[in-house]
Amino acid sequence: MTKTDILVADLAEASRIAKAGENAPLVGGPIGLMWGVLLTAVFAIHYMIISGALALPQQSLAFLWIAFAVIGGVGSAILGRKIDAKPGAASTANRVEQYAWMMFSFTGLSLAVGVILNQILNNGTTELWTLILIFGFAGQGLVYGLTAKLTGHGWLHFAAFGGFTMAAVTMSFYGQNIIYFIAAIGTVFTIIIPSLLSMKAEK
Amino acid sequence: MSGENPDIDIGAIDDVIHGRLRLGVMAYLSAVNPASFPELLDKTGATNGNLSTHLTKLESAGYVRQKKGYNGKRPQTLVHLTPQGRKAWIAYLDAMKSLLGHSI
């Protein structure tokens, strides 16, 4: 074997290893699934409260959404620890996905703070909360689309399409109670199913 | 290809990076950064001691940084590619291109 042969063989091996890292699967599926199930349940309960199907006062909605944020936050921290230990968790694709969803959650948080301030300072309508739901679906479309483009996981474009479609659909029902029921069903398609597909691809 | 250029100047190559295992480590870290020690063991097929030795060499050159910590209650060593290491890796690949042509 000449020096060149050895060099080429070494580079071929390095290339194989680099590709293994580059093609690492997305590992955030379990966190997405948790948020999807949680969100579907909370939208459904929200709908049942405001429609009177569940005999609870309207004030209980605040507790419902606070519980959602706390359970989701704790769940993300626990699952995130497990996910960080997975091979390829720090690949470019996974970092892009993780950061994009983190920014998405800050977007939601900033809107929630704005609505609370609006209600305190301007006696704003509680209907503003519904706008976060609609922006949430549009935001999902944005995050899925960016992740699909930057990570090469093209199938996420379908999830992006689902998010944008749900944003349009829910906007068309703005002002009606049924919007929360529609959102519960939509979340199955925009978060739960993409998360399950992501987990399947990981295996 | 071996017949075309059998006497390439190995001296032009960064000796710290070169070597199958260190090359593999740098290649993986260029895509997954940081990577855990067990992850590198799995991807390179190295033994514990061998990987440790080569990581120390790369760390001495400032190309990687090993950070010992915990994931939950379990000890974990994460290996980071440093900015200096990334520069050296790019320079290494450029040197390879010059030596072997643009086919790599």
| B28-81 confidence digits (pLDDT tens) | 999 999 999 999 999 999 999 999 999 999 999 999 999 999 887 889 999 999
Question: Once rounded to an integer, what is the mean pLDDT over residues A94-122?
Answer: 93
ipTM: 0.71
B77 touches chain A (CB under 8 A): no
Tell if the CB–CB gap between A13 and B23 is shorter than 8 Å: yes
- Evaluate whether A22 touches A91 at the Cβ level (below 8 Å): yes
Rounded Cα gap, residues A162 and B2, in angstroms? 53
Share of chain A above pLDDT 70, in %: 100
CB nearest to A22's CB, from B20, B31, B72: B31
- Model confidence band, residue B10 (pLDDT cutoffs 50, 70, 90): low
Q: Judge whether residue B19 has pLDDT over 90.
A: no
Rounded Cα gap, residues A125 and A62, in angstroms? 14
Q: Which two tokens stand for residue A201?
A: 């691809």
CA dihedral sign of residues B16, B19, B21, B23: positive
B43 touches chain A (CB under 8 A): yes
CB nearest to A4's CB, from B5, B30, B33: B5
A13-62, pLDDT tens digit by residue?
888 888 888 888 899 999 999 999 999 999 999 999 999 999 999 889 99
Q: Give how far Cα A106 sits from Cα of A38, A136, A150, Å.
A: 18, 11, 20
Q: Give how far Cα B21 sits from Cα of A34, A68, A97, B25, Å.
A: 39, 47, 30, 6
Task: State the burial class of residue A203 (Cβ atoms within 10 Å of its Cβ: 0-12, 13-18, 19+).
Answer: exposed
CB nearest to A18's CB, from B6, B28, B96: B28
B90 touches chain A (CB under 8 A): no
Task: Give helix A29-51 / helix A193-202 axis angle, nearest 10°.
Answer: 160
Residues of B in Cβ contact (< 8 Å) with A21: 27-32, 35, 43
- Evaluate whether A159 touches A186 at the Cβ level (below 8 Å): no
Rounded Cα gap, residues B39 and B59, in angstroms? 18
Tell if the CB–CB gap between A21 and B34 is shorter than 8 Å: no
Q: Give how far Cα A126 sits from Cα of A68, A90, A118, A132, A175, Å.
A: 18, 40, 10, 11, 11
Rounded Cα gap, residues B36 and B79, in angstroms? 6
Nearest CA to A147 among A99, A197, A193?
A99
Q: How many CA atoms lie within 13 A of A37 on its CB side?
A: 11
Candidate ranges A24-28, A38-42, A117-121, B16-20; pick with highest mean pLDDT: A38-42
Q: Which two tokens stand for residue B78?
A: 């994460």
Higher pLDDT, A7 or B17: B17
Which range, of A14-23, A158-167, A185-194, averages the lowest pLDDT?
Answer: A14-23
In the block, residue with structure tokens 């996910």: A83
Q: Which two tokens stand for residue B28?
A: 């993986």
**Of all helices (H) and strands (E), which one includes residue B17?**
none
The pTM of this model reads 0.81
Q: Judge whether residue B5 has pLDDT over 60.
A: no
Tell if the CB–CB gap between A3 and B100 is shorter than 8 Å: no
- Model confidence band, residue B12 (pLDDT cutoffs 50, 70, 90): low
- Model confidence band, residue B7 (pLDDT cutoffs 50, 70, 90): low
Rounded Cα gap, residues B34 and B69, in angstroms? 13
Tell if the CB–CB gap between A4 and B4 is shorter than 8 Å: yes
